[in-house]
Amino acid sequence: MNVKKLLDIKVPLISVDIDINCLWDVRDFLLSLVKVYRLFNEKDIEIHRSPSGLGYHILIFKENNPIENFLYRAYLKDDPYRLRFAMDRVAITLLNNTKTLPVHVDLVYEAKRYSRYGKSHFIRKAEINVNKIRDWVRRYKEEPNKVFHEIIEYIDDFIVEQGIQTRYVVYGKVKERDFKIFDVLKKGLEDLGYKAHHIEDPYDSDYRLVKVIVKTKEDVEKVISVMKKLGITRVWFQKRLIKS
């Protein structure tokens, strides 16, 4: 595999796709913004909101080669499946000794969609508090721990500013052979105003997962109480983010 070929290829930009599904995704996104503004000129950076409203596209208009592209995207926490797909595409081309290597290694985005290429009507710019990012960048070298804690404290405010809502997902693990209990559970939760669904346990084929989405911690406690009364003891919940 002649990897040296990649050094001669020019890629017009670096793009990073970060999905926001939980609070730690928000943390990773804010940390990535600090990294981006430390590494690149602000005039070369654009932040876009994904069509789902639950993700962000960081675009850096800096010419690079595929190796640099992959390393920057990994460092900035690009979607790992997207990054792996791009690397696979380049690797297959090299292994097949194809003369023409792919120029656009950012597979999710098309150049024609970028506002820099004159098609801005496809793009929704994200409204980010850039002054806060600049302040973190300025202090990061001297006070990295303090900046990190400020980012953690800012997560809730960021969610509100971006119009993202929180929900709780309650799970209950039930053995497949005992799953007749689901109908009773579903009826009991419906009487309280909740909807229950079930999915296969991806890690254990002998079990199914009951799933209930609720708004508040009080709702979580009520759902867990109903589950435990029916003998479902393996229960937990996660805080998730949804589009407003």
Domain spans, the chain: 3-161, 164-243
Res 51 pLDDT > 80: no
What is residue 70's predicted lDDT score, i.e. its pLDDT? 93
Q: What is the mean pLDDT of residues 26-37?
A: 96
What is residue 155's predicted lDDT score, i.e. its pLDDT? 92
Amino acid of residue 178 = D
Interatomic CA distance for residues 21 and 244, integer angstroms: 13
Which option is the CATH number for 164-243: 3.10.129.10, 1.10.645.10, 1.20.1050.10, 3.30.70.120? 3.30.70.120
Task: Kindly report which listed range (26-35, 62-71, 107-116, 232-241) carries the lowest average pLDDT score.
Answer: 107-116
- Predicted TM-score (pTM) of the model is 0.73
Rounded to 5 degrees, φ, ψ at 147 are: -65, -40
| Chain-centre distance for alpha carbon 124 | 17
Tokens of residue 65, six digits: 């080669």
Task: Kindly report which listed range (49-53, 117-121, 205-209, 217-221) carries the lowest average pLDDT score.
Answer: 117-121
Res 94 pLDDT > 60: yes
Res 112 pLDDT > 80: no
Share of the chain above pLDDT 70, in %: 87
